[in-house]
Structure 1
């Protein structure tokens, strides 16, 4: 944060963003607790998320007219979001929560690279120092996963970060009011793609309870809190706040399931977190 006193609206945005980041950190634990297969999890998560977002739009705006998509960027954002959902769930089933979230935290900087390649937006020189730090951290994690049997899961986690990066870039070209329709359609698209291989009716009552909690409460409410909070904060501040998920997600899984990250993940993760937090901190203090 900047050294000057924050206005009340910024404090409100800060509180909303921290609440949203903390709430979304429970997503990994809930998915870990579900025993169903990948396709069934993606189907239920997508259907519940899409239906909840649509209901929110109807109740808040009393119309589904704003639920329409306009333009290529919004369609790309929907597809990228749906692909990110699949890669995220697949990564959680094939590697550790810590690996998934730490690798996923590279998404904003992958978005920077995509912006440079596809939108010809030249990033500042400091960004490349961050990318070098991220690559070094990812190398440590991937090298250890080759012997631990987590390499496939780490590839899915990198796919998750890449899809999320593409989503961020596409979102910049979308209307501000398209945020919720994109999330809703992205959830429904992920469910549609998973449907041929899913077994929605074969899910246990216990799994359904966790998935309803995930798709109806945690993800939609966290999305709403973050969308409201980040409207009043700078991008570096948002980056710092979202790092809470990278720290808290593995913590909840460790407390409930006893899953502990290995030394390579701790070392690589520490390098990535310090790099991102340091970049955000100095960016927030930069004048102008």
Structure 2
């Protein structure tokens, strides 16, 4: 298996797993600070346990924070977590996933400017089609959110893109870095909970989210830039845009509109076509070598 193929597979699994995050947050039913504290604490515990076990059985364990680049990525993911979690409560899900989806565009621009990674025409075309598909999905909900929540979502999109590009530029293994980045959300959430008290109706859902879903998703997505370009990694974050409404459909019996299903079908087909094209191109390069 080529490194590029490995990167595509890892980020695809990470993107699918991340789509469970918003439904689990909604199932927990709490205020933003309590959710932020429990989700971050659970994620940190899971990350430290996994790292210690890995270190006990192998010397080839990735560092928790690989140098200055790792510190920068920690800061970016810390901002992402706080902005994203807050945006869940201050704007509509449609607004949130639409704006965060623009991390693909931000990642492409940043990679182009700072890494001189000129995107292939096929990648630019795929991104354009996917953005159009997302616009179709959330067209009816764009006016339902507040400006504050929309700005938080924009902050999450920019910080995700920045973290991806820094990871790509460093070439270091950042698998555990976004999981350690939850320290900042824990401190912020803990400070507010200390003043207002813990308010979560079903804490087991958010604990499961922090212990299992978030560590798997962000470990794989953060490992992706080691093998594939920033724009390609960012595209797999878009899977949450189409899959999260499907999970909500099953869990909360909220039937998505025909418009959402149509846009989701376009997005999935585009991702598949682009991934297959990348796999074939990677295979040809390997055979030529």
Q: Where on the TM-score scale, by shorter chain, does this alignment land: which range?
A: 0.7 to 0.9
Distance of 1:163 and 1:217 partners within structure 2? 23
Residue 213 (1) aligns with residue 213 (2) = no
TM-score, structure 1 normalization: 0.73
Q: CA, structure 1 residues 48+59, in 2 after alignment: closer, same or farther (shift >3 Å)?
A: same
Q: Is the 8 A contact 1:111 1:165 kept in 2?
A: yes
Deviation for aligned residue 1:150: 5.8
Deviations 1:161-219 (A, max 9, x none): 22211111111134534421x12321112222344334598335643212211111222
Correspondences of 1:84-233 after superposition (within 5 Å)? 84-97=80-93, 99-134=95-130, 136-137=132-133, 144-149=140-145, 152-174=148-170, 176-180=172-176, 182-199=177-194, 202-204=197-199, 206-224=201-219
Distance of 1:114 and 1:134 partners within structure 2? 19
Corresponding residue SS for 1:285: helix
- Which residue is equivalent to 2:19? 25
Deviations 1:32-88 (A, max 9, x none): 1122222222222222212221222122214999434412x2222111111111222
Distance of 1:256 and 1:102 partners within structure 2? 21
Correspondences of 1:65-76 after superposition (within 5 Å)? 66-71=63-68, 73-76=69-72
Distance of 2:267 and 2:62 partners within structure 1? 42
Q: Is the 8 A contact 1:84 1:160 kept in 2?
A: yes
Distance of 1:116 and 1:259 partners within structure 2? 40
Deviation for aligned residue 1:91: 2.9
Choose 137-146 or 50-59, whichever is displaced more.
137-146
Corresponding residue SS for 2:203: helix
Distance of 1:84 and 1:121 partners within structure 2? 24
- Which residue is equivalent to 2:40? 46
Distance of 2:204 and 2:97 partners within structure 1? 24
TM-score, structure 2 normalization: 0.73
Q: CA, structure 1 residues 277+83, in 2 after alignment: closer, same or farther (shift >3 Å)?
A: farther
Q: CA, structure 1 residues 174+208, in 2 after alignment: closer, same or farther (shift >3 Å)?
A: farther
Distance of 1:200 and 1:208 partners within structure 2? 19
Gaps of 5+ in 2: none
Distance of 1:118 and 1:17 partners within structure 2? 22
